[in-house]
Amino acid sequence: MRESERKDREFTSLTKEIFLLQRDDMRGARLHLRRRLDAYTAQLASACDRKTNLQVSINDILSEADLNAKARRPHAE
């Protein structure tokens, strides 16, 4: 396989994965990953806005993702 074909295939695969993380009807592991990425993204954006270094606590990300999950659903999953 040529280098350009390999890169095209990798790009297509990545594009599909990104699409799957943007869907509104996600469940399970992808939904948990999206919530964690959303929490991380919010902290990254805040650090950029303040022009400070990003210091991420994994426990904070997990807690924030869990809190967001509980706030978005009226009943337990």
d(CA 61, CA 41): 10
User: Could you report the per-residue pLDDT of 5-48, keeping only the tens digit for each?
Assistant: 666 777 778 788 777 777 777 778 888 888 888 888 888 899 99
Residue 8: what are its φ and ψ, rounded to 5°? -60, -40
Q: Which secondary structure element, helix H or strand E, spans residue 26, and what is its range? A: none
d(CA 52, CA 59): 20
Q: In sequence order, what are the residues at sequence separation of 6 or more whose Cβ sits closer than 8 angstroms to the Cβ of residue 17?
A: none
Report pLDDT for 45.
92
Q: What is the DSSP letter of 74?
A: S
The pTM assigned to this predicted structure is 0.55
Name the amino acid, one letter, at 24.
D
Domain locations along the chain:
3-72
